[in-house]
Chain A
Amino acid sequence: MSPFFMIVIFVISTIVGYKLIRNVPSLLHTPLMSGMNALSGITIIGALSATGAAVRTGNRLLGFLAIFLAMLNVSGGFAVTHRMLGMFRQKEAQNE
């Protein structure tokens, strides 16, 4: 993939993301952040492919650490977001 194309993808995603995230109410900013934490764990796919292709033992060990950290990020981020969003209750739901 050409560098130019990659930078275009980056710029477009940034702009689209910015527009979408602007609609998130400040009420949800903490879950938004932890959700974004989880998403930044997407680097796990880089960790997997790099580790899978790595031949030197030291690099493989580093890769294992990266996979572990990224997965921690993904699962912890999504789970904690889920927990928080579950707390946001509506009045009606409470009275039921």
Chain B
Amino acid sequence: MSDMVYYILCSFLIIGVLCGIALMSKVKHSLKGNLLSSVCMALAILITLYKYNIMSDLSLWICIAAGLVMGLWGAYKVKMINMPQVVAMLNGFGGAASAIVASIALLENQTANLFSFITGGIALGVGTVTLTGSLVAGGKLQGILPQKPVFWKKHSFIISSSLMIIVMSVLAIAISGTDRTILSVMVALCVVFSGFFGLAFTIRVGGADMPITISLLNSLSGVAGAIAGMVISDPLLISVGGVVGASGLLLTQIMCNAMNRPLKDILLGKSTVGSQGTGHGNSDESVTNISEQEAPEPMNSEKETQKTDPAAILSEAKKVIIVPGYGMALAQAQEQVKQLTDKLEEKGAEVLFAIHPVAGRMPGHMNVLLCEVDIPYEKLCEMDEINPRFKECDVALVVGANDVVNPAANTAIGTPIYGMPVLEVDKARHIIICNYDLKPGYAGVENPLYRRKEGVTLLLGDARDTIEKLISKIQTGL
């Protein structure tokens, strides 16, 4: 196949992939978009096999088949709550594959000029950083590694010096030219220190900042691919890698804006070092340990001091807005939330969901969990859309969310969440909060809603039990 024909085919495939992404902008067409992208990918693989005359190389087909089967099997098995880990791992695999492509190109002397040597070194570095960074992120999300940011002595010094070594090894790769021994040593050096760098920089990011880290790693996996494409002069790889890089970057930006924190602070682990001190970052742990501790009485004493019963309030409500958070996911309360929604709708109430951009552990996490239990996506509202509606709603029901509804974000200057746009539940006529405990959220800032006497009902305990009790109370109250 001549280069010209290949480039023309590539441009068609790139347009196909871009159309696929464009179709994702409407939920209705998104499935088609995904199919279109996957068809383009399949064609790209076939064209590559044909172009390099390796169609008949059986071992390649075996690897493809193995990856295909494993991928499909894994995708079929995975639970939606584990989605963030899965995305993290897939990012890592993509990065690893790009790093390997670069290293083969370097070690096999497939690299022809200075440009491909430099890009080879960079692709190797970025790919390896993506791999180890994703492994650490995945480990944190899965609970294998501590969710809290881990700080080493002289952490920043370690990070910057390993970065220096990476840069120098890349330069050494570039000038080593054809000397194979130096080249191999430098490739190994680059891999080792990039791997270490990925580990060092993800380990100090806290659990709640994972949406940002994953988005960033997503971007890196694309960039690694694009640079690997430069090594082997493949326009398709460069282009699609660039698109993925852009996507990850955009999501990172959205997440940072939603938290009102510069990316730098999050990567430096500043996020959770709040001035508030006590108990910060503990809420995650305590929620995870639900089963180990004795759950507090769900309908706690505050109920007595308040004359209004939450079930009665909900029964009478005409407009209800439910605010889900990561606590809902941890308690696996989605199904109960759906039942409650149905029950309220039966009674003629209008139920909407308010989704904060950073609720959960990855962008759009809550949407996926709620859609999984058959809640129609029209009911899931973005923050800007739903915020003006809180003042006309009768009840705001908070399920396992804390920082994203904390009105202190508007007032508590100097705290990590100050200036972060929040869901304005405090405007609602009545607020029911189903959280595990009264500890401050991940950001470590106390929530003034917990102390408010009027219009707030606190239902402490496991969200699943709490909502189940609410449902049965509403039912018997009929």
A interface residues (Cβ-Cβ under 8 A, vs B): 1, 3, 6-7, 9-18, 20-56, 59-60, 62-91, 94
A32 contacts B247, C-beta separation under 8 Å: yes
The closest CB in chain A to the CB of B70 belongs to A72
> Is B169 located at the chain interface by the 8 A CB criterion?
no
Contact of A59 among B107, B241, B250, B382 (CB under 8 A): B107
Contact flag A45-B236 (CB < 8 Å), given A40-B94, A78-B41 = yes
Question: Quick one: which of B360-378 are within 8 Å of A by CB?
Answer: 362-365, 367-368, 371-372, 374, 376-378
Q: List 18 A-B contacts (CB under 8 A).
A: A1-B233, A10-B242, A14-B242, A17-B244, A21-B250, A29-B367, A30-B362, A35-B34, A40-B218, A43-B229, A45-B44, A46-B237, A48-B45, A62-B100, A63-B104, A64-B63, A66-B96, A90-B28
B52 contacts A25, C-beta separation under 8 Å: no
Task: Classify chain B: how many residues form its interface, as a range.
Answer: 35 or more
A6, B113: Cα distance in complex, Å? 14
Chain A residues near B72: list those with CB within 8 A. 75-76, 79
Known: A24-B21, A38-B41, A64-B63. 18 other contacts (CB 8 A): A14-B243, A28-B364, A33-B247, A33-B248, A34-B86, A45-B236, A46-B97, A53-B52, A62-B100, A63-B100, A68-B70, A71-B68, A75-B70, A79-B72, A83-B75, A84-B83, A90-B28, A90-B377
A74, B94: Cα distance in complex, Å? 9
Chain A residues near B90: list those with CB within 8 A. 34, 37-38, 40, 72-73, 76-77
Q: What 4 A-B pairs are tightest by C-beta distance, nearest first? A: A71-B67, A75-B71, A29-B364, A17-B243
A94, B107: Cα distance in complex, Å? 56
Stretch in B145-153, B219-227, B428-436 with 4+ CB within 8 Å of A: B219-227
Number of A-B contacts defined by CB within 8 Å: 373
Chain B residues near A51: list those with CB within 8 A. 60, 104
The closest CB in chain A to the CB of B14 belongs to A13
Between B91, B233, B244, the greatest number of chain A beta carbons within 10 A of the residue's beta carbon is seen for B244
> Is B251 located at the chain interface by the 8 A CB criterion?
yes
B38 contacts A78, C-beta separation under 8 Å: yes
B234 contacts A45, C-beta separation under 8 Å: yes
Chain A residues near B371: list those with CB within 8 A. 84, 87-89
Question: Quick one: which of B205-238 are within 8 Å of A by CB?
Answer: 214-215, 218, 221-222, 224-226, 228-238
Contact string against A for B residues 188-203, beta-carbon threshold 8 Å, 1 for contact and 0 otherwise = 0000000000000000
A78, B72: Cα distance in complex, Å? 9
Chain B residues near A30: list those with CB within 8 A. 83, 87, 362-365, 367-368
Contact of B234 among A7, A17, A46, A89 (CB under 8 A): A46
Contact of B91 among A25, A40, A64, A85 (CB under 8 A): A40
The closest CB in chain B to the CB of A95 belongs to B376
A83, B48: Cα distance in complex, Å? 28
A78, B242: Cα distance in complex, Å? 18
Dominant secondary structure at the A interface = helix
Contact flag A34-B87 (CB < 8 Å), given A39-B37, A47-B100, A79-B72 = yes
Contact flag A68-B63 (CB < 8 Å), given A17-B18, A41-B94, A48-B45 = yes
> Is B380 located at the chain interface by the 8 A CB criterion?
yes
A46, B110: Cα distance in complex, Å? 12
Question: Quick one: which of B1-50 are within 8 Å of A by CB?
Answer: 14, 17-18, 21-22, 24-25, 27-28, 30-31, 34-35, 37-38, 41, 44-45, 48-49
B104 contacts A42, C-beta separation under 8 Å: no
Between B37, B68, B93, B96, the greatest number of chain A beta carbons within 10 A of the residue's beta carbon is seen for B93
Contact flag A21-B246 (CB < 8 Å), given A33-B362, A77-B90 = yes
A50 contacts B101, C-beta separation under 8 Å: yes
A82 contacts B22, C-beta separation under 8 Å: no
The closest CB in chain A to the CB of B131 belongs to A69
Chain B residues near A73: list those with CB within 8 A. 67, 71, 90, 93-94, 97
Chain A residues near B64: list those with CB within 8 A. 44, 67, 71
The closest CB in chain B to the CB of A67 belongs to B63
A3, B238: Cα distance in complex, Å? 11
A86, B51: Cα distance in complex, Å? 35
A92 → chain B closest CB, angstroms: 9
A76 contacts B103, C-beta separation under 8 Å: no
The closest CB in chain B to the CB of A21 belongs to B247
Chain B residues near A33: list those with CB within 8 A. 87, 214-215, 218, 247-248, 251, 362-364
A71, B97: Cα distance in complex, Å? 9
Chain A residues near B69: list those with CB within 8 A. 75
B382 contacts A91, C-beta separation under 8 Å: no
B100 → chain A closest CB, angstroms: 4
A50 contacts B97, C-beta separation under 8 Å: no
Contact of B34 among A6, A78, A87 (CB under 8 A): A78
A10, B225: Cα distance in complex, Å? 11
A64, B67: Cα distance in complex, Å? 10
Contact flag A86-B31 (CB < 8 Å), given A18-B246, A42-B236 = yes
> Is B305 located at the chain interface by the 8 A CB criterion?
no
> Is B291 located at the chain interface by the 8 A CB criterion?
no
The closest CB in chain A to the CB of B115 belongs to A3
Contact of B228 among A22, A41, A43, A81 (CB under 8 A): A43
